[in-house]
Every structure is written in C-alpha cells, then in structure tokens.
Chains A and B, each alone.
Chain A
Amino acid sequence: MASLQDIRRRIGSVKNTRKITKALELVAGARLRRAQLRIEEMRPYADRMQELMVGTARAAASFRNLALMQRREVNRVAIVLVTGDRGLAGPFNGQVLRRGFELERQIRGEGHDVAWAVIGRKGASTLRFRRYELSAQWAGFVDRPEYHDAQGVAHRLAELYTSGEVDRVVLVYNRFESALVQRVTVSDLLPIPENVLEAGEDTDLTERERALRGDFIYEPEPEEILQRLLPVYLETEIYRALLESAASFLAAQMTAMRNASKNAEDLVDRLTLAMNRARQAQITQEILEIVAGADALTQ
C-alpha cells in the first residue's frame, strides 16, 4: 500500500491538473459564445450572396460552362480536412481524420486517385506522420478564422481545380449543431453543385421585388457577374466551414475538459478515502505499538 506521503503528493498533483482542465473548460466556454456569434453574423452575407447568385444565374444565358462549375471525368479527388491547431478537444480531430481515411478508401475503391489538403496543424502532422503527400496545407488561423483566410484557401483550391490537377474537391469538417453535438460533415466544394444556382424561391423578397426581378439592370453582363460570384460563393462556403469548425472545436474542448475535471474530482475523492484509510491504519498501528509497549513494561 502506498504511503501516506505518496498519496498526499498524488492528491496535490491531481488537484493541479484539475485546475488546468477547469480553466481550459471556462476559457473554451467563454470563447464558444463568441464563435457562435460569428456564425450568426455571417449568415446575412451568405443568404444575400446566395440570393444574388440565384437571381443572376436566372438572368444569365448559361452558366454550366463556367470554370468552377464544369463537370468532367474524375481522375483525382482532393480531400480537404478541417482540423484544429491543438488537441485536448476529445474526438474533434480524430473523427475528421477517420472520416477522411474512410473517404479515401471509398474513392480509391472507385478507381480514382486522392490528393490531400489540410487546414490545421493536428491534421497536417498526422498525415505527414503517415507519409502522405500534402497538396496544400494551412495553419495558424483555425482558432479564429477571418474571411481573408477563407479567401486564401478558396483561391488555392480553385487553382488546383481549374489547372486540372484535381477534378473534384470535397471538404470534411466538424459541423456545429449545438454545444453538445458536433457532426462530421462531408460537403462537395468543386465543381460547384448546380442546385446551388437553382435553389428555391428567394424567401426574403417582397412580392413586388420578385416581380421586378426580370427588370434588373446588370452591369456588367450577368454571365460576367456570375463568373466573379462563383469564387465568392466558394469563399463563403469555406468561411462557413471554418467558423463552424472553430465553434465545434471549442465545444468539444469544453466537453472534454468538463469530463476531465469531473474525473479529476472523482480521483481526488478516491485518493482522499485511501489517504484517510492509510492514516487510520497508521494510527491503529501506533496505538497497538504503544499498548504492546505498555504491556511489556507492566509484566
């Protein structure tokens, strides 16, 4: 049995760990609220952009031959993983990677080649450890992504696609559903799905605005505007995924750290019990020794 001293020391160390996990939990909780707010803040922009794209596509003579929409025979698929720069967030990084590898097997099973692109240090280090070659990687902004970070990613992916290096791009990320649920989601980035432009009625327009839709003046031509709109759509999609992933990271970290704090508390309770037992045993032992000593003297 461990000595009293040993147990005391362990209790001290577990308590220190608990302080750290508790602090991380609180920090993640506070930052999570901010991250959720940022998802809310980008929604009006994304909605308006979508609305504008649907309207412009309707006015354009054709859009299927635009570079980012062109469907071609698939030889190589790029898998883009959105992970974190750090760990201590439960299954956050692992589940994206696992889904990525599943996807890889499936794509290779269909006879296509796979290219990798990774956002976040954790994913990059795992893939490098497995000796995968990375077509592109980004890090340093996943905690607090800004729009221009998404622009950089979008630009590079569009380049890979238009140069013919890859023929399809899919994104794997943690979608934020609530503080308790983050779901790994796979979404098709490129070619841009046609249904994006054919999306249903614009909900936010008044009757009269809808009637006016046909009379828009386009400056320049709708085709030309659409050509600029598609990359922006891509940026917006990536930005959304980055924000969702950042919020998911904080939520996963908060949950993981809460569990860790709870475990630390349980451990402290158990150790305290063990310590009390050990102390009791020691006292009993001492009394026995004194009594035995006194007995020996009286005889």
Chain B
Amino acid sequence: MADHPLFSVSVVTPEGAAFDGEAELLIVPGAAGEIGVLARHAPLVGMLKAGSTRVHLGDGQVQEFATGPGFFQVLEDRAIALVDDAVKADEIDDARAQAQLEAAQAELAKIESGDSTADRWQLEQRIRHAENQLSVSGRSG
C-alpha cells in the first residue's frame, strides 16, 4: 500500500479505550456497509453495526477488533469509533465464544418453551456478540 499520512484514531468502549493512537487507515462496519477513513476525511457522523473494525498502522500492520454496535465520528484529522464492546481479533477465545453462544441459545430455547423468564433481548444481544467474535476470528485465523 502506498504511504498515507497518519492521523489520530481511537476505538473507545465503556470499559476503556481498545485502541488509541496514530494510524493511516481505519475501516469500520458502517450500518450501510464498511467505511474506510484516511487522514483529512470530511467530518462525518455515522452508525456502526457489530462486525470487524480494522486499524491499519502503516507498514502493512493491521490491528483487527470484533466490535459491537455503536457510533462513528470523524473530526478534523481524528476518527473516533464509540462501540459497546471491542475484542482484539487475536485475543478472541473461540472455545469460550462458542460456549457462550451455545449457553445463550439454550437459554433462548428455554424462553421459547416457557421454562425461563430471562430477558430475551439481552440473550439475543449475547448471541450476536458471540457470533460476531466467531466470524471475525474465523476470517483472521
């Protein structure tokens, strides 16, 4: 890839910043498709869906995260992704994500049959989160 100027990029979650530093390209899962942002992009506010967020650090180095839904803001030479959760792709524990997925699906099945009063919406979120992690790790691995 040709050399691009660096700009400031942060991926922020309620549990702290997942990434905060300089990068040459940021690709986020926009609600209507992936959005790639380089330095000096026009100011933008958008929505993000759960998916893969990639930070290109330059020299071919890429950091990938499995991110939850959130928002995206580009200011003058600064891009901020505000997401409810971010897990580094190489730190995703497939077995754990799979176990979480199955536990949530089992609980959901219990609700369907009337054996549980757990919050359906929350379970659906958990399933989506686990699926998202699995799909991101599947691609990078």
What is the predominant secondary structure among interface residues of chain A facing chain B?
helix
Question: Which residues 148-163 of A sit at the B interface, judged by CB distance below 8 A?
Answer: 148, 150-152, 155-156
Would A155 and B43 count as touching, CB distance under 8 A?
Answer: no
Report 6 cross-chain contacts, Cβ distance below 8 Å, ordered by A residue: A152-B121, A212-B75, A216-B45, A218-B45, A219-B44, A239-B14
**B124: shortest Cβ distance to chain A, in Å?**
10
Which of A97-105, A203-211, A261-269 is near enough to bind chain B? Answer: A203-211
Total A-B pairs, Cβ < 8 A = 98
**A219: shortest Cβ distance to chain B, in Å?**
4
Asked whether A52 is an interface residue with its Cβ less than 8 Å from the other chain, the reply is yes
Asked whether B71 is an interface residue with its Cβ less than 8 Å from the other chain, the reply is yes
Would A41 and B43 count as touching, CB distance under 8 A?
Answer: no
Interface residues on A, range: 35 or more
Contact A42 to B15, CB < 8 A, known contacts A49-B82, A148-B125: yes
Asked whether B32 is an interface residue with its Cβ less than 8 Å from the other chain, the reply is yes
Chain A residue numbers with a CB within 8 Å of B46 are: 218-220, 225
Would A217 and B44 count as touching, CB distance under 8 A?
Answer: yes
Asked whether A274 is an interface residue with its Cβ less than 8 Å from the other chain, the reply is no
With both beta carbons as reference points, the residue of chain B lying nearest to A56 in the complex is identified as B45
Chain A residue numbers with a CB within 8 Å of B75 are: 205, 209, 212
Question: Which residues 62-115 of B sit at the A interface, judged by CB distance below 8 A?
Answer: 70-71, 73, 75-76, 78, 80, 82, 84-85
Q: Produce 1/0 per residue, B4-45, CB < 8 A to A.
A: 000000001111110000000000001110000000001111
Chain A residue numbers with a CB within 8 Å of B122 are: 148, 151-152, 155
Asked whether B57 is an interface residue with its Cβ less than 8 Å from the other chain, the reply is no
Contact A156 to B44, CB < 8 A, known contacts A151-B84, A209-B76: no
CA distance A222 to B45 in the complex (A): 8
Would B43 and A212 count as touching, CB distance under 8 A?
Answer: yes
Asked whether B126 is an interface residue with its Cβ less than 8 Å from the other chain, the reply is yes
Q: Other than A45-B13, A147-B84, A208-B76, give 16 A-B pairs with Cβ distance below 8 A.
A: A42-B16, A48-B12, A48-B73, A49-B82, A52-B73, A151-B122, A152-B121, A152-B122, A156-B119, A217-B45, A218-B44, A219-B44, A219-B46, A225-B45, A232-B71, A239-B14
